[in-house]
Amino acid sequence: MIVGIGVDIVDVPRFGTQLEKGSGLLERLFTESERPLPLRSLAARFAAKEAISKALGAPAGLNWQHCTIVKDEAGAPQVSLCGTVLERAEAMGITNWHLSLSHDGDMAIAMVVAER
């Protein structure tokens, strides 16, 4: 049963400008394994994290470090959770995530469906 959906879109150049400001945004938003990725991949992962937050009802107190977007053996994006994000997902009974990422021109988009 679907218990949440989320979608988010990111303007890649604008997102890059924000990351370059040196405010520690890269470290706050992304796990160590995500940080070396190219800008458009970071933008898509940020969109995914925003979409996941929306699927969870956008509760206060979620830590961005507790959500990592990884790839499976075939290269498909997968959701990996721990800490505050995992706690919220478990409280909602979420057992499965479906995630799609896309890039086109200067835009990156993510769509998630949360199931129990």
54 is catalytic: yes
The residue from 54, 66, 71, 98 that is catalytic is 54
98 is catalytic: no
The residue from 66, 71, 98, 103 that is catalytic is 103
Contact call for residues 19 and 41 (beta carbons, < 8 A): no
- Collapse the DSSP code of 98 into the 3-class scheme (helix H, G, I; strand E, B; otherwise coil) and give the result: strand
21-42 b/e (C-beta count within 10 Å ≥ 16 → b): eeeeeeeebbbeebeeeeebbb
How far the first Cα of the chain sits from its last, in Å, is 5
Active site amino acids: 54, 103
